Amino acid sequence: MKKLRVEVGKGYDIFIQKGILNDCGRYIKTVSQAKKVCVVSDTNVYPIYQNSVKKSLQENGFEVVSYVFKAGEASKTIATVMEMVECMAQNDFTREDLVVALGGGVCGDMAGFAAAIYLRGIEFVQIPTSLLAQVDSSVGGKTAVDLPQGKNLCGAFHQPCLVLIDPNTLQTLTPKYFSDGMAEAIKMGCIKSKRLFEKIEQQNANEIIEEIIFECVSLKAEVVQQDEKERGERALLNFGHTAGHAIEKLHGFTNISHGEAVGIGMVLIAKAGEKNGITEKGTANRIANVLQKYHLKTEDTHSLTEIITAMNADKKRTANAIRLILLHEIGDSLIQPIHKEEILNFFKEED
């Protein structure tokens, strides 16, 4: 078993161990006095794990209520979160009770947001079952839903009280969802660890996935502890996301996964960085090659102008600028505000 401590707010532990999902109730009992637990999951994940999770929770004295939503980014709306909150209210949940997010990034984002706003905040536990959630979104307390105007525009910072990562759940993922998570692992290497990037680049990630999860979570925990509310260094975690979120929006949050969009965004920003003399030459090609190794896209069908127009709705913008995350080189990143009027020229390839 691997264990990490995140010292943010009350602080919480992250446990990484194969099979821990089947013993989740015992771990949750150590951090919560709840009588009732609302297990939030989706139509893909819940049928696989409902029996083992409910059994463990009930054996440890919890009354279990479940809320299951239709799997996919299209469900990540205010309406879905309101249904979660109403489910808790209808079952007389108190401030001492608990939400458990059992699923991928969409599930964790919504369950955490529901926990943040129900009775002005109750505790929640993350049990991430996708690689993307295990290496990234389950840690750090970002919760949100999408709006028609853009991705994750409505949300709150609400830290979990516990994160339980079971690598065995990755065995049920399709290759596409494994690739989706690898985009976030590649991102972490790009911004924080040349060693991690080279490991992903040179080895088969499937064979060392527990090692990759631990390194990604360790790096993210360090950043979050320094900057919980994204006022400084934490913004580096958005490398590839400004363009990536714009691409997701242009696709109507369908037909392209989050990891695919972020991968395209990483290549776009690395090319722009090279063009503007900020990023080491050859970095974009290197990122593109490792993305392709894990069957991820490196370009989109939409024009650069369309992507930049969509980027202007990004939540990371200021009144007159967008904070772009750039690389000096692999493992060394920086925050660079670019005036909105200069964005197109910053990205546009030279004739």
- Catalytically active residues are 120, 142, 184, 220, 230, 234, 238, 241, 245, 258
Tokens at 63, concatenated: 């009354």
CA dihedral 237, 242, 247, 249 (to 10 degrees): 100
> Residue 275 forms beta bridges with which residues?
none
Cα 340 to Cα 45, 110, 310, 322, 337, distances in angstroms: 41, 31, 12, 6, 9
Return the H-helix or E-strand segment holding 127.
strand 123-128
What per-residue string of b and e applies to 132-159 under the rule 16 or more CB within 10 Å gives b?
bbbbbbbbbbbbbbbeeebbbebbebbb
Residues 6 or more apart in contact with residue 325 via CB below 8 angstroms: 191, 235, 236, 238, 239, 240, 241, 242, 269, 333, 334, 335, 336
